[in-house]
């Protein structure tokens, strides 16, 4: 083939961060399981709200509620100084947020601290803050940008230390579970590489209110059957606790506007 022209391009801050994240997570044995959840009631309750909370907030709270009674969902595998688990008392959700930074689309991570004890309104307010506030003014994003200014060898050492040695730092930096979704652009992630032992993502809502939800988990921490049961419990939490909270938000006292009740679904 004749010579194909092209040119070098330096990595932007965000691309450098993702590249280092990928390098640090290389070798993590991540397994994916999927469950079709019947969420028509939740969809109806959510659509009845004038300003419905994002599905990310709903899933973060449901996962944390399940994790509150299943300690394996709050564990991370730490290989050094000898293989062990680090278990936290509460959950920290790490949410991937797409923002425009430096003239290109970039991914940042916002954290919900113990979402099981927070209201959906509060979680939604945090999501709006991450979505609308200038990147440099969001604490979680600024911390990431500051970290990327550290010289590369020190940065790589810090990645290694947080991911392999110090469970406390790992949880603080990356959370105990993550949520990353691209459903708003009409596509779903089939496999993920993430620094957390558990990552949730979901596809497009079917017209009958069914939703394919995937849990990507570190097989060193948990096996397939407990992970499958955790997904079933997340569905149960969504259909009971989260549904009840949505109904509370929809009660006349909590309403700020009027919106027609109906099921709004994505085209499949």
Partner 1 sequence: MLFPPPFFCSGRTLPLSVPRRFLADFIHFAAKMPLVGIARRMDLGAVLAARKAAAPAPNWTLLFAKAFARVAVERPELRRSYLGFPWPHLFECNESVASIAIEREYDGERMVMFAVFRNPHETPLAQLARELNDFRTKPIDEVPALLRTIRITKLPRLVRRALWRHALYQSGRLRAQNFGTFGISSIAPAGAVTVGMASLVTNTLSLGPFDEAGRLDVRLDFDHRVYDGMAAAEALQHLEIVLRTEILAELCDSKGN
CA 229 → CA 49, 70, 219, 233, distances in Å? Answer: 30, 10, 15, 6
What's the half-sphere exposure (Cβ side, CA atoms, 13 Å) at 140? 23
Question: What gap in Å lies between CA 245 and CA 251, rounded to an integer?
Answer: 10
| 106 touching partner 1, by CB under 8 A | yes
Smallest distance, partner 1 to C-beta of residue 132, A? 17
| 149 touching partner 1, by CB under 8 A | no
Smallest distance, partner 1 to C-beta of residue 177, A? 17
177-179 and 30-38 strand pairing: unpaired
Task: Pick the closer one to partner 1 by CB: 167 or 203.
Answer: 203
DSSP codes of every residue in 78-123: E-SSSSEEEE-SS-EEEEEEEEEETTEEEEEEEEEESGGGS-HHHH
**Which one of 189, 228, 263, 265 is in contact with partner 1 (CB under 8 A)?**
189
| 260 touching partner 1, by CB under 8 A | no
Task: Pick the closer one to partner 1 by CB: 14 or 88.
Answer: 14
Of 22-30, 55-63, 171-179, 256-264, which part binds partner 1 (CB under 8 A)? 22-30
**Which one of 33, 107, 165, 265 is in contact with partner 1 (CB under 8 A)?**
107
Of 58-66, 74-82, 178-186, 224-232, which part binds partner 1 (CB under 8 A)? 178-186
DSSP codes of every residue in 194-236: -SSSEEEEE-PPPTTSEEEEEEEEETTT--HHHHHHHHHHHHH
Q: Which residue has the tokens 């109806």?
A: 44
Task: Pick the closer one to partner 1 by CB: 25 or 49.
Answer: 25
Are 109 and 144 contacting, i.e. CB atoms less than 8 angstroms apart?
yes
Task: Pick the closer one to partner 1 by CB: 105 or 248.
Answer: 105
Of 3-11, 52-60, 66-74, 120-128, which part binds partner 1 (CB under 8 A)? 3-11
Question: What gap in Å lies between CA 134 and CA 153, rounded to an integer?
Answer: 29
List of residues contacting partner 1 (CB under 8 A): 1-11, 15-16, 18-19, 22-23, 25-26, 96, 98, 105-107, 180, 182, 185-193, 204, 268
């Amino acid at each position: 083939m004749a010579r194909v022209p092209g040119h070098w391009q330096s990595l932007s801050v965000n691309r450098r961060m993702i590249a280092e994240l990928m390098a640090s997570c290389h070798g993590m044995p991540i397994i994916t399981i999927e469950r079709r959840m019947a969420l028509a009631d939740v969809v109806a309750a959510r659509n009845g709200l004038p300003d419905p909370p994002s599905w990310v907030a709903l899933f973060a709270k449901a996962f944390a509620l399940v994790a509150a009674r299943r300690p394996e969902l709050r564990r991370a595998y730490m290989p050094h100084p000898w293989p062990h688990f680090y278990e936290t008392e509460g959950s920290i959700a790490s949410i991937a947020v797409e923002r425009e930074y430096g003239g290109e689309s970039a991914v940042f991570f916002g954290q919900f601290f113990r979402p099981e004890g927070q209201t959906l309104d509060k979680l939604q307010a945090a999501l709006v803050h991450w979505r609308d506030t200038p990147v440099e003014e969001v604490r979680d994003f600024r911390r990431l940008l500051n970290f990327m200014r550290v010289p590369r060898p020190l940065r790589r050492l810090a990645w290694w230390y947080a991911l392999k040695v110090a469970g406390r730092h790992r949880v603080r930096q990356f959370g105990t579970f993550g949520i990353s979704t691209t459903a708003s652009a009409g596509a779903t992630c089939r496999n993920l590489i993430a620094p957390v032992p558990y990552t949730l993502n979901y596809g497009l809502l079917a017209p009958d209110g069914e939703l394919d939800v995937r849990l990507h988990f570190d097989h060193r921490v948990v096996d397939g059957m407990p992970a499958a049961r955790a997904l079933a419990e997340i569905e149960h939490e969504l259909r009971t606790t989260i549904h009840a909270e949505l109904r509370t938000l929809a009660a006349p006292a909590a309403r700020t506007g009027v919106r027609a009740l109906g099921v709004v679904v994505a085209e499949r």
